[in-house]
Structure 1
Amino acid sequence: MQNRRQIGTKEEALAAAFLEKQGYQILERNFRCRLGEIDLIARDGSTLVFVEVKYRKNADFGTPAEAVNRKKQLTICKVADYYRMVHRIPDNRPCRFDVAAIQGTVIQVIRDAFPYQGG
């Protein structure tokens, strides 16, 4: 039996491979700081994309996308701000927040899943 971390790592790898086939260039996996974590950071053309990967075996407890609630969105935005600061990414560089929702074996990428929430 796999634990949650093993499942998460496997699903993130599947999402990264899927995104690469869609033309994304994966820059980082599991970017962590004291504020939180972002599963995948990628480039889609000239846009910097912060990707949250969510997996659910089925929809019994809601869809994967529904699990990316406002609190999680705020955390992702704060970590994205930190990433941009550390990597000296200019404020005028286009960015967006995507969700890779995996339910069972089906992967759906929700582009621009939520707007930037921060200062």
Structure 2
Amino acid sequence: MPPRSSAQSGKDAEQQALEHLQQQGLRLLAQNWLCKRGELDLVMLDGDTVVFVEVRYRKYAQWGGALASIDARKRQKLILAAQFFLLSEQRWADAPCRFDVVAIQSTPHGTADLHWLRNAFDG
């Protein structure tokens, strides 16, 4: 069997994150939402809160792992994309919002550790 491409691994991680969040009661509003400012991996609804979810997958942790891969520039791109989403999806424009990160890290045993960080951009 050929090795998985990084794009396929990313899609698999996104699906794993989606299923995990749905099990926690969140509802999917949009997946891979594109605009001129970027892409939102998952847009979910947690009660009345719109949640913009960035899914990060890393096979190796040598360079800080999945969570460390979100720098200030990436955060700014996500914020701009979220603003475009709220402008184009007016029904959610006045809803409370937050940014979450689901970080998935491969383990040496071939499994994956999933960490869901709520309000990832606060603090």
If the length of structure 1 is used for normalisation, what is the TM-score?
A: 0.91
Equivalents in 2 of 1:106, 1:26: separation in Å? 22
5 Å-filtered alignment, 1:30-45, equals 30-45=32-47
In the alignment, what sits opposite 1:106? 113
Equivalents in 2 of 1:83, 1:47: separation in Å? 14
SS in 2 for 1:64: helix
5 Å-filtered alignment, 1:14-93, equals 14-89=16-91, 91-93=93-95
Equivalents in 1 of 2:94, 2:75: separation in Å? 21
Unaligned segments of structure 2, at least 5 residues: 107-111
Aligned-pair identity (%): 36
Per the alignment, do residues 103 and 85 of structure 1 end up closer, same or farther by CA in structure 2, a change over 3 Å counting? same
Aligned length in residues = 115
Per the alignment, do residues 99 and 82 of structure 1 end up closer, same or farther by CA in structure 2, a change over 3 Å counting? same
| Deviation of the 1:82 alpha carbon | 0.4
Contact 2:55 2:103 in 1 (8 A): yes
Quick one: which of 10, 13, 16 aligns to 1:11?
13
Regions of 4+ moved over 2 Å: 89-92
Equivalents in 2 of 1:74, 1:8: separation in Å? 21
